[in-house]
Structure 1
């Protein structure tokens, strides 16, 4: 299933984050995803629209939500004041296929030497701590573009959360 979605949409780290966030949370809303990841809400909302369009996530119906379904909720039951999203059946199947081999191919397509860069970046605090062979302007620009590092080279909260949710 993976490759056909790349033809319709270049799956970006923000898309991947939303998919794995929803896998962990079961259901959640855009504002909470933005708050947790420290990314701008419009960026999350645009990525949600993309994922709905290709059928990987869907709106969750109903007027209340129980903590047993919304894993990140603290209250036992809450009335919905936001639009909640969940993985579609297709999204569930897609997320199940994400393993180390898939991640290696994904990040290598996204960034030059991407999988090595991501695994090293996870262990450091800044782009400047990468080995010299990975510190090209192209790699830095890509990492900034995808919100994995800040313009001043620091690893982002989003990157840390993405790695945690992906089990990297």
Structure 2
């Protein structure tokens, strides 16, 4: 999460630029009439006196006037503060979980088996091995997963060839006690409410289906110009949480074989999120 000091720094830069408007304008105009490396970076750096009488170094967009340089910082401050507010509203239980739909899917997969290794997990989830491997390591560090000795692992309810065979040369993971608690939290209403704050684009997906009816990941990805694999994993994660369900569609095509709609819980949770400040 971005620090409060970083936000305050951006505010101070913006306020200083506006306070020293004429000085900044003259420096920009002079730079535009001179040769130099600033034409490669399209920025100039200068030291200004803040409204508090202290010196501060700022980098200025060569092609923007002082007001636009300041406004760019104010806009960034607004975005960062909104993100901080969003993160602060998320219950502590979701803090260790990466805001990635594949991370959710890994947890639900490991809940169905006693242990598995990243390559196999990636195959079951149809996800990139490198992404799964990185997420497993991150969740191990945050305490949601734990490594287990391969000799103690026996997979269950996994529909794969040689599902009960343990491959000795892989790093196996399983849910830790904290991971179990996380999934229990996600089964509760408050957990589902916080998923829509935690999972990027999760709220937008539920809103879309709640207002327009069933849809497919492929159609959503095309209309929103997003990667299909990301959207597909997002739909699947929201289904596991209980906010979406698979359904049939009268307009179903050969390329769109999986459609989703909101559940009653999904509609209820969406209303709760929209009603809260």
- Give the TM interval when normalised to the shorter protein: 0.5 to 0.7
Corresponding position of 1:115: 206
* CA shift digits 1:13-71 (9 cap, x unpaired): 1211111111122311111121122211001111111100100001112425334xx33
Report the Cα distance in structure 2 between the residues aligned to 1:105 and 1:120, rounded to whole angstroms.
20
Corresponding position of 1:124: 215
Corresponding position of 1:22: 110
SS at match of 1:97: helix
Change (3 A) 1:105 1:127: farther
Q: How does 1:1-168 map to 2 (within 5 A)?
A: 3-4=91-92, 7=95, 10-63=98-151, 65-67=153-155, 70-72=156-158, 75=162, 77-81=164-168, 82-99=170-187, 101=189, 102-109=191-198, 110-111=200-201, 113-117=204-208, 123-126=214-217, 128=219, 140=224, 144=227, 147-148=230-231, 156=232, 158-159=233-234, 161-167=236-242, 168=244
Change (3 A) 1:19 1:94: same
SS at match of 1:86: strand
Report the Cα distance in structure 1 between the residues aligned to 2:213 and 2:150, rounded to whole angstroms.
38
Change (3 A) 1:24 1:108: same
**Structure 1 unaligned runs (5+)?**
149-155
Change (3 A) 1:26 1:77: closer
Report the Cα distance in structure 1 between the residues aligned to 2:163 and 2:94, rounded to whole angstroms.
38
Change (3 A) 1:165 1:53: same
Report the Cα distance in structure 1 between the residues aligned to 2:149 and 2:115, rounded to whole angstroms.
10
Change (3 A) 1:118 1:35: farther
Report the Cα distance in structure 2 between the residues aligned to 1:166 and 1:15, rounded to whole angstroms.
12
Give, in angstroms, the shift of residue 103 of structure 1: 2.7
CA contact (8 A) 2:98 2:135 kept: no
TM-score (norm 2): 0.44
- Structure with higher Rg: it is 2
Give, in angstroms, the shift of residue 115 of structure 1: 3.0
CA contact (8 A) 1:55 1:91 kept: yes
- Number of positions where the alignment pairs a residue of Structure 1 with one of Structure 2: 148
CA contact (8 A) 1:107 1:114 kept: no
CA contact (8 A) 2:144 2:176 kept: yes
SS at match of 2:227: helix
